[in-house]
Structure 1
Amino acid sequence: MSDEIRVLAFDGLTFFEPASGLLAGPRGLVYLKPVTARLLLHFAKAPRSLLRRQELIDAAWRQAGLGIHENSLNQTIHDLRNAFSRLDPGRTYIKTVPRLGYVLLSSVEPRDALPPRRPEPPPGEEWS
């Protein structure tokens, strides 16, 4: 998967724009911190594969020339799970494999652009 891809689709439901860090899903938009965006991009390069902790640390921190604290990976995985949960509740995107690493459970497909967003109704109103 090339870093030139504009948008990545996770199971066709949630979309990620690596250049901006924008994650868009059925329930809205979230902007990811740069380190969280790098981590998600690395997961997207190997969907449904076990990624070991050290590999993730190297991809999200070391390759960017950043230091890492003991709990940084755990906190960033937590932030990523929270972002996915806000956008697509009830669905698990990242699985922990105890003592080994993590797996992105979604399929990943490149897209040319984010899908058009459906306008939201004004506060207090519902559209059917």
Structure 2
Amino acid sequence: MHRIFMYEFRVNGSAVFSPKDNLLVNQQLGRALPLAPVASRLLLFLCCHPNLIVKRRDIFRAVWEDFGFEVSQGSINQTIFVLRSALDDAGVGADCIRTIPRIGYCLLAGVERITHETCGAA
């Protein structure tokens, strides 16, 4: 038997992000917000690097290029805009993603990784 770990992230103690389901949920507010796959990949990348400045180049690589996409600077700006809106709607706050001019972005939030362990046959 082997163990399969699935991760979710609690952001600022108020919302749970499920990368597997592309979903941002705030149970207290009764809101479940679906995210586009690209917005979900970006939030996953930011959740894996909370409170750290991540360079635009690293975001492009992890969110688009590793998935076979080549995009412009406008794509990251638009995705950040969409993600800020979703975080605000989920009660986390749009201001938790800070723009670091000419460098990148920083997710200023408490991020807790939640592990769900299941058992499966080997």
Q: TM-score, normalised by structure 2?
A: 0.82
* 2: CA distance, partners of 1:89 / 1:7: 16
- The 5-angstrom pairing of residues 43-82 of structure 1 reads 43-82=46-85
Quote the offset at 1:62 in angstroms: 0.3
* 1: CA distance, partners of 2:74 / 2:61: 14
Q: TM-score, normalised by structure 1?
A: 0.79
Aligned to 2:10: 9
> Helix, strand or coil for the counterpart of 1:12?
coil
- The 5-angstrom pairing of residues 26-105 of structure 1 reads 26-27=28-29, 28-88=31-91, 92-105=95-108
More helix as a share of residues: 2
* 1: CA distance, partners of 2:46 / 2:66: 15
- Judged with a 3 Å threshold, the aligned counterparts in structure 2 of structure 1 residues 100 and 20 are, in CA distance, closer, same or farther, namely same
- Judged with a 3 Å threshold, the aligned counterparts in structure 2 of structure 1 residues 94 and 31 are, in CA distance, closer, same or farther, namely same
Range that drifts further, 9-18 or 104-113: 104-113
Equivalent residue pairs, number: 110
> Does the 8 A contact of 2:22 with 2:35 survive in 1?
yes
**CA-atom RMSD, angstroms?**
1.6
The one-letter amino acid paired with 1:72 is S
How high is the sequence identity, in percent, across the aligned residues? 33
Aligned to 2:119: none
Quote the offset at 1:69 in angstroms: 2.7
More strand as a share of residues: 2
* 2: CA distance, partners of 1:112 / 1:80: 23
Structure 1 stretches of 5 or more lacking a match? 114-128
* 2: CA distance, partners of 1:24 / 1:75: 22
The one-letter amino acid paired with 1:45 is C
Quote the offset at 1:98 in angstroms: 1.1
Aligned to 2:20: 19
- Judged with a 3 Å threshold, the aligned counterparts in structure 2 of structure 1 residues 71 and 90 are, in CA distance, closer, same or farther, namely closer
